[in-house]
Structure 1
Amino acid sequence: MTSAVAPAISIADLATYRPANKVPASYFAAFAQDDDLADNVMFRAPAFRHHAAEDETSADMILSAASILTARHGADYLNDVDVLLTHSQLPEVPVRGCGGEVAYRLGLQPATVLDVHNGGCAAFAHMIQIAAALLAASGGRKALIGLAQNSAGQIFTQDQVRGKPQAAIPGDGAAAATLTLGANGNPVLTTVCRSYGEYAPDMTAVSQPARKYWEAGPGQIHVGFTNAKIAKVLSRGNRLVPEVAVEAAERIGIAPAELDWFITNQPNRVFLRNWREALELSEEHHPDTFDECGNLFAVGVPMTLDALIDSGRIEPGQIVMTAAFAHAGDFAAAAAIRWNGRT
C-alpha cells in the first residue's frame, strides 16, 4: 500500500539524544568469537556507538530529546500537544509501550496517545503519516513523536551475545519531533509507506538453547541471522529503499539525482553505498552518522537529519528525502521534506 500525506503537515522542529556512554569498536573486538558470519558485509563495525545506561529507559531517552525542544523554544512549547506517538525498539514492558509515561512525565494531556511498534527502522516516516491523519481527524494543534533505540546496551552486550558479529553494529539513542497541520514550517511534501507481510517471518529472535522470549531459561535472546537470511535481507534492502525514495521523488516532480539531501536508515556501509548509487547521488548528498552512532534503527533518520541541520550545510528551501526499510524487509517508507529551518 502507498499513500501521500493528506492533509498537509509540517515538521516544526526535532531534537536528538545520544547516551553518554560512547563505546569503541575495540570493546566488541575483545570478545569476538569465531563465527561463520564474522566476515559478512552486514557486520563491518562502526568506529563508535552509544549505549544507554543500565537503568535508562525508552521514556528517559525520549524525554532527554524532548527537553532540548523545550530548552530551545520555552517551557510551554509542548503544552498544546494533542497527539503523542512513541516508538521503542525494545519496550520495557511487553504489554505496553512508553507513550503514557512520556505524556505524564512531560505534563501533557493529549487526546490521543499511541505506541507505534511495527514501523521498525522506517518508523520516522510512518509516524509522520499517522500524525497527519490523527491531527486532521481530531482537529488537533500539534503532534509530538518520540523514538527510542534502546536495545544495543541491553541485548548486544550480554555475555553470550557480545562476541557475535551482530553485536558491534547497533547503538542507542532517541529523537523527538513536533508536527503541525498546514504548510508552515518544514512541509512534508509526501510520504510513501509499503507493507510486505510475506517477509515478516524472516525476522526472528533466537537463543541457545532455544526458548520463547518470555520463557525462563539460560539462553540469551538475540537476532536470528543465518547466511541465507542475510542474503534475502541484502537483496530486499537494496531494492526497497530506492523504490520508496524514487516513488516519493516522482510524486513531487523531482528526479532522484537532483535531490538536495538523501537520509536513510544505516544498517551498514554496504547499504549506504548501494542506496546512494541507486539514486545517482554523491556521498556528499547522503549524510549518515554510522561511524559515530552505529545502526540506530528507527532513530537513524532523525539523528542524521538533526546532525545535518546543526552542521549548517542545509539551506532553506532544500528538499530532504528520507527513506528506510524495517526488519527483514516487511515494511519500507519514505518522506520528502522541504526544510526551511527550525520553528
Structure 2
Amino acid sequence: MTYSKIIGTGSYLPAQRVTNDDLAARLGAKGIETSDEWITTRSGITARHYAAPDENASDLAVYAARNALEAAGLEAEQIDLIIVATSTPDFFGSFPSTACIVQNKLGMRNNSAAFDMGAVCSGFVYALSTADAFIKAGHAKNVLVIGTEVFSRILDFDDRTTCVLFGDGAGAVVLSATEEPGVLAIKLHADGSYGDILCGPSNPGNASGNRKYLYMDGPAVFKLAVTVLEKVANEALAHAHMPASDIDWLIPHQANLRIMAGTAKKLGLSAEKMVVTVHEHGNTSAASIPLALDIAVRDGRIKPGHNVMMEGVGGGFTWGAVLARM
C-alpha cells in the first residue's frame, strides 16, 4: 500500500519586522490608542512581518518552496503537483493561480499540475489532505504544498482589533509517496452558516456589499475555534486509534495564544508539547502551520518518528486536523 510522508519543510518571513510598539505609533498618529500590553494581553502577539511593496504571495512561496525542496533532497522538476493555500493571491480572482506563478518562478517545465486551495486559515490542512489523496490514489509521487499570505494588504489600519493580529509569511512541505505511514489521519469540516463572522474584502460590485478590508467578529471566532479544534483533534486521534498522550507535538493554527493553550489543555497536553510562533509572527493564516512546523524541525524539536498533530480553523467557516508521523 502507498502512503504519504513529509520529507522536507521550508519557510520564509519578509524582512520587515513590525513590533507592537511600531503599530502603536502608527495607530497613535491617527488618534487610535493601543499599546504593546493591550495587544499582547489579548493575543500573545509581540511582532509580525510585512511583505515589501514589491513582494507578492508567490514570491514568499518560492522562498519557502526552495527551502523545502532542499531539505527533501529533490529538484523542482521532480515535483508532480503544486498546491498553494492562500487567501491573498497575486491576482484578483486567482487567475492565473498563485500555484502556476510559483511553478513558473521555480523554473519548472515538466507541466506538473498546479492549483490554489481556498480555506483561509485551514488552507494548509486542506491542501495537505488533498496532496495525501493524490499520492494514495497513485496520481502523484512528490507534491509541494505551500501556505503563503500577504494579509497586510487587506488590513484596515483604522481598526485596532484586527490589524494588530495578522502578519505575512510562507511555509512549505514536500509530501512524498512512501511504503511506511506518514500521514496517519485526516479530518476536515466546514459550516457555511458561520461565513459572516470572518470575511475578506468583497468583489467589486458584490450585491451583498463593498467591503474593502478583512472583517472579523473576534468573540464569535474565539468561541467557535475553542470548540471545534478540540473536537477535530480527537476525531483524528480516534481515526488513527491513538491516545492523545502519544502526540509528541501539537501545532495549532497560530492565531491567538489563549485559543492555542486552551486546545492543548483540553487534549491533556502540556504547554511544552505545543509549538508556538504566534508571538513573533502573528496570524499568518494558511502559512502559520507549515511555518511553525519548519521552525520546530530546523531547531531540532521535531525529530523523525515524532507524532505531530496539525490543526487549523478559518473563515468559511472551515476547520480540520492532520495527524502525521515525521
In the superposition, the TM-score normalised over structure 1's length comes to 0.83
Give the residue type in structure 2 aligned to 1:101.
Answer: I
Of 198, 205, 222, which residue of structure 1 is paired with 2:213?
Answer: 222
Note the alpha carbon deviations across 1:203-237, whole angstroms, 9 max, x for none. Answer: 3347xxxxx5426xxx9822334xxx333212210
Task: Describe the shift of the 1:163–1:132 C-alpha distance in structure 2 as closer, same or farther (beyond 3 A).
Answer: closer
- Partner of 1:64, secondary structure, is helix
Give the 3-state SS of the residue equivalent to 2:157 in structure 1: coil
Q: Which amino acid aligns with 1:179?
A: L
> In the alignment, which of 300, 305, 308 is matched to residue 312 of structure 1?
300
1:127 aligned partner? 127
Write the distance in 2 (CA, Å) between the matches of 1:161 and 1:53.
17
User: Which of 175, 191, 200 is matched with 1:196 structurally?
Assistant: 191
Match of 2:23 among 28, 32, 57: 28
Match in the other structure for 1:166: 162
Over the matched positions of the two proteins, sequence identity in percent amounts to: 23
Q: Residues 16 and 303 of structure 1 are in contact (CA less than 8 Å); yes or no, is this contact kept in structure 2?
A: yes
SS at match of 1:179: strand
Residue deviations 1:94-142 (CA, integer Å, cap 9, x gap): 122311111112122344211111x211122211111122344463221
1:49 deviation in Å? Answer: 0.6
Q: Which runs of 5+ in 2 are unaligned?
A: none
How far off its partner does 1:327 sit? 1.6
Aligned residue in 2 for 1:209 = none
Say if 2:46 is the partner of 1:58: no
Structure 2: which amino acid aligns with 1:223? L
Q: Distance in 2 between matches of 1:64 and 1:256?
A: 34
Q: Root-mean-square deviation (CA), in Å? A: 2.7
Please show how residues 134-213 of structure 1 align to structure 2 within 5 Å.
134-137=134-137, 139-152=139-152, 154-156=153-155, 161=157, 164-184=160-180, 187-205=182-200, 212-213=202-203
Query: 1:241 touches 1:275 (CA, 8 Å); kept in 2?
Result: yes
Which residue matches 1:290?
278
Deviates more, 1:229-238 or 1:26-35: 26-35
Give the CA deviation at 1:16.
0.4
The letter for the 1-side match of 2:324 is I
Aligned length: 314
1:111–1:311 Cα change, 3 Å:
closer
Cα displacement string for residues 239-278 of structure 1 (whole angstroms, at most 9, x for unaligned residues): 1111111111112222224411111002112111211111
Normalised to the residue count of structure 2, the TM-score between the two structures is 0.87
Whether 2:86 is the aligned partner of 1:88: answer: yes
Q: Which amino acid aligns with 2:261?
A: R
Does residue 336 (structure 1) correspond to residue 323 (structure 2)? The answer is: yes
In the superposition, relative to structure 1, how do residues 34 and 26 fare at CA in structure 2: closer, same or farther (>3 Å)?
Answer: closer
| In structure 2, C-alpha distance between the alignment counterparts of 1:155 and 1:123, rounded to whole Å | 17
1:107: which partner in 2? 107
Q: CA deviation at 1:162?
A: 5.0
Q: Deviations over 1:13-55 (max 9, x none)?
A: 11000111111111111214259xx979995361111111111
Inter-partner Cα distance in structure 1 for 2:38 and 2:266: 25
Query: 1:15 and 1:326 mapped to 2: Cα distance?
Result: 22
| Uncovered stretches (5+) of structure 1, i.e. residues with no partner | 1-5, 207-211
